[in-house]
């Protein structure tokens, strides 16, 4: 059995764009870098892949290290590898994106070096090419809203249709018609009423729904 000839040393890392819906806004989790390069800049959670670790295992690990939670929706996004992307040397980064309901978090934004940032108000520049990675993840998420049930991965266990609609509107950046929206999501057949109601203020309470198969993301149409 041969061994490989390495002409150079290349590092492989994963960076994870972790999306959540926080205070009605689509947000990503960023880490403030404490070391050069890009000291003081915000970066995506990430790191080198471990020996014997699959790429998506590594991504799940990054996610668990920062958020403390497991079993969330995670999907490979793209691999970034221009030679200059890390000033320390050649690093190829396999980017992932994750979606999680904010309520599941048990996270301390420790010492201010871990924080949620609204997508509409990101820092001017992020470390490395992370701005580009976030932009691509947002674009992919937008596209997937149209032809899959991916948005459900951002919802808590129980939610109202208005809350779901607000999530779509925030991500797509446009208002949707209430009746058409409800017709569409109800026809998917993925939702069921919990039978419970949610009271929020001085108006009619809303029905609560849950997802029939919580882990599942379906391609629609």
Residue whose CB is less far from DNA, 123 or 205: 205
In Å, how far from its chain's centre is CA 138? 9
Cα–Cα dist 216/137, whole Å = 20
If you ran DSSP here, which 8-state letter would residue 110 be given? G
Which tokens sit at 27?
A: 């947000």
Which of 35/106 has CB closer to its own copies? 35
CB 147 → its own copies: shortest distance, Å? Answer: 9
CB of 62 to its own copies, least distance (A): 14
| The entry of its own copies, DNA, none that residue 4 binds, CB within 5 to 8 Å by partner kind | its own copies
Q: Applying CB under 7 A, which of residues 6, 35, 88, 202 lies at the interface with DNA?
A: 202
State how far the Cα of 196 lies from the Cα of 129, in Å rounded to an integer: 45
Which CB sits closer to DNA, 138 or 194?
194
Stretch that binds DNA, among 7-15, 39-47, 116-124, 179-187 (CB under 7 A): 179-187
Which of 71, 109, 123, 183 touches DNA by CB under 7 A? 183
Decide: 45 and 124 in contact? Cβ < 8 Å. Answer: no
Residue that the structure tokens 């949620």 belong to: 116
For residue 184, what are the CA distances in angstroms to 51, 81, 140, 146, 150?
45, 40, 21, 11, 14
Closest CA to 15 of 1, 38, 176: 38
For its own copies, the binding residues (CB under 8 A) are 1-4, 6-12, 35-37, 48-55, 76, 78-83, 86-92, 94
Nearer to its own copies, 8 or 23 (CB): 8
Residues interacting with DNA, by CB under 7 A?
Answer: 160-162, 177-180, 182-183, 199, 201-207, 221
């Amino acid at each position: 059995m041969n061994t490989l000839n390495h002409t150079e040393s290349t590092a492989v890392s994963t960076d994870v764009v972790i999306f959540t819906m926080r205070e009605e806004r689509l947000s990503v989790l960023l880490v403030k870098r404490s070391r050069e390069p890009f000291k003081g800049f915000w970066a995506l959670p990430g790191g080198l892949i471990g020996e014997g670790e699959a790429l998506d295992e590594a991504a799940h690990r990054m996610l668990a290290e920062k958020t403390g939670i497991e079993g969330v929706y995670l999907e490979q996004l793209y691999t970034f590898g221009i030679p200059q992307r890390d000033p320390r040397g050649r690093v190829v980064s396999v980017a992932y994106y994750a979606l999680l309901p904010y309520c599941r978090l048990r996270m301390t934004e420790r010492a201010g070096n871990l924080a949620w940032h609204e997508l509409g108000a990101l820092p001017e520049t992020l470390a490395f090419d992370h701005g580009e990675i976030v932009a691509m993840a947002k674009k992919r998420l937008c596209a997937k809203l149209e032809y899959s049930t991916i948005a459900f991965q951002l919802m808590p266990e129980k939610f109202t249709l208005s809350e779901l609609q607000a999530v779509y509107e925030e991500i797509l950046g446009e208002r949707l018609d209430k009746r058409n929206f409800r017709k569409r999501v109800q026809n998917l057949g993925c939702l069921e009423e919990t039978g419970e109601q949610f009271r929020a203020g001085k108006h009619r309470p809303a029905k609560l729904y849950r997802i029939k198969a919580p882990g599942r993301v379906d391609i629609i149409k």
